[in-house]
Amino acid sequence: MDITKQSITSIRDAIAGKKASAVEITQAYLDRIHQLDGAVHAFNETYADRAVDRARAVDAGEVAGPLAGVPIAVKDNLCTTWGHTTCSSKMLANFAAPYNATVIERLEAAGAVILGKTNLDEFAMGSSTEHSATGATRNPWDTERVPGGSSGGSAAAVAADFCVASFGSDTGGSIRQPAALCGVVGMKPTYGLISRFGLVAFASSLDQIGPFTHTVGDAAELLNVIAGHDPRDSTSATLDFSGPIPDYTADLETPVDGLTLGIAKQYMGEGNDPAMAQALDKAIAQFKDMGATIVDVDLPHTEYGIPTYYIVATAEASSNLARYDGVHYGHRAAEAEDLVDLYAASRAEGFGDEVKRRIMLGTFVLCSGYADAYYNRALKVRRLIKQDFDTAFEACDAIICPTTTGPAFKFGDKTDDPLAMYMQDVYTVNANLAGIAGISLPGGFAEGEGADAPRLPLGIQLLGPTFGEAKLLRIARMLEKANDYHAARPILG
């Protein structure tokens, strides 16, 4: 058994059947990280001693649960009482959180072994993980290319088999987009399904925590652990399922009877890479072969998603990041003439260029005389986007579309053109604005030119209605069973 290429279920069974110990499994992943992460930089820091101690407790029967002994990584914007929570920023380079995020608490209560914190675009603001104070993360499929962002470290860690699963945050596509570019499963749950308590805020009405895995089944396993109301999060949903949160694995292998999938013309643009268009056509054909009905749906306000997102998200970022002033916590400039100078110097030194750009944009759209023209109008358009999806889901169970316009791009290709970088999320931001569920799963490869050119993953995205995760996962599993893309692995070392 290759320990570092297993699912949650197989690791759980191996430990229960004494075929491998939790310590052996944990050490195998730590060794792989030590040997190969130098070429990828998926991790900002690892917790080897703590992870091994935790695994030892699993073997001794002191720690149990559905994830007992399963090695997991978490994005470095989730608070833990051990290590640092840096958000890949100089501003929080030495920040030690005084509490654990709810997601961390639930993972540990389920027995998970947390190996370390993964790299991200600073404060989760980016689409390539190039905007990190700790250095860029590289795509395991081709280390000359980006892994996507902002959760690029979490996606790369799973793709490279540095962990069984990982967690990221998705504000405008930051789980689904890197999942697509790294060839793994990435899920953005409905807003409010997962507690955001302990997640360092970027845009509070958009942020959502979710998993990266190799399989849809593993994503369902993790959702079972982390979903549910949290009174410490004022945006956490109180759901009426006529009972507890559903078991997302219970009917996972049961195909959806009478499945109807929607195709929106707004996602079938000429800007899609030919390989992406072919992958989508193949996925649609496979669903048809499984008996699905394909219908056209209209999402007329799709084109306004990017401008709406970059008004709402930057406005909220400007507000959330105002707390980093060099006084309360975070980086503090060594020299300042007065309080205003201290604020300015601390922020100038602590924040990177992309974060500064978004703070300035957000401050502008909120300032007196402009709020009605920009921010308030964006909120109205956001509501129209949500209504588009509500109407579409009256005619279909889910919407199928690309996750990205094409495969991963090379480092530096878009860093000088912020608008081109922002357009990398053109197929993902609207799901965050609407608060609906979305999942990206491996959908094939774009073959590079030349005998030695790397295969580059492509992602298929499925969007479902609010709190429709159970059915959405079943639909995703139907497509996964029709392919073997999820079994492919990049060659490292």
Q: Where are the domains of the chain?
A: 3-260+394-487
The superfamily CATH assigns to domain 3-260+394-487 is: Amidase signature (AS) domain (3.90.1300.10)
What are the pLDDT digits (tens) for 173-199?
999 999 999 999 999 999 999 999 999
State how far the Cα of 247 lies from the Cα of 228, in Å rounded to an integer.
11
What's residue 2's pLDDT?
84
Checking if the pLDDT of 433 tops 80, the result is yes
- Out of 127, 132, 150, 440, pick the active-site residue: 150
What's residue 242's pLDDT?
44
Mean of pLDDT values over 393-408:
97
* Residue 415 or residue 233, greater confidence: 233
Structure-token pair, residue 55:
């695994």
- Summary mean pLDDT of the chain: 95
Between strands 293-297 and 260-264, the pairing is: parallel
Note if 75 is an active site residue.
yes
Please enumerate in sequence order all residues whose Cβ is within 8 A of that of 401, keeping only pairs 6 or more positions apart, or say none.
263, 264, 267, 268, 280, 427, 460, 461, 463
Note if 174 is an active site residue.
yes
Of 287, 237, 245, 234, nearest in space to 262 by CA:
287
Checking if the pLDDT of 255 tops 60, the result is yes
State how far the Cα of 273 lies from the Cα of 289, in Å rounded to an integer.
25
State how far the Cα of 449 lies from the Cα of 454, in Å rounded to an integer.
8
| Angstrom distances, CA of residue 370 to CA of 364, 374, 402, 487 | 7, 6, 35, 50
HSE, CB side, 13 Å, CA atoms: give it for residue 308: 25
What's residue 239's pLDDT?
66
As a whole number of Å, the CA-based R_g of the chain is 21
What are the pLDDT digits (tens) for 472-491?
999 999 999 999 999 999 99
What are the pLDDT digits (tens) for 338-374?
999 999 999 999 999 999 999 999 999 999 888 888 9
What's residue 448's pLDDT?
66
- Out of 88, 174, 236, 318, pick the active-site residue: 174
What's residue 1's pLDDT?
66
What's residue 244's pLDDT?
66
Structure-token pair, residue 265:
């013309």
What's residue 450's pLDDT?
57
What's residue 416's pLDDT?
82
What's residue 271's pLDDT?
85
Q: What residue has token string 């790294």? A: 182
* Cα torsion through 212, 320, 105, 130, rounded to 10: 30
Note if 151 is an active site residue.
no
- Out of 75, 117, 188, 414, pick the active-site residue: 75
Other CB atoms within a 10 A radius of the CB of residue 284 amount to 17
Checking if the pLDDT of 449 tops 80, the result is no
Checking if the pLDDT of 33 tops 90, the result is yes
What's residue 454's pLDDT?
81
State how far the Cα of 35 lies from the Cα of 430, in Å rounded to an integer.
39
Mean of pLDDT values over 91-95:
95
Structure-token pair, residue 36:
């190969």
Q: What residue has token string 């159970």? A: 470
What's residue 148's pLDDT?
97
Task: Give the model's confidence band at 452: pLDDT under 50 very low, under 70 low, under 90 confident, else very high.
Answer: low
What's residue 137's pLDDT?
98
Mean of pLDDT values over 157-177:
98
What's residue 337's pLDDT?
87
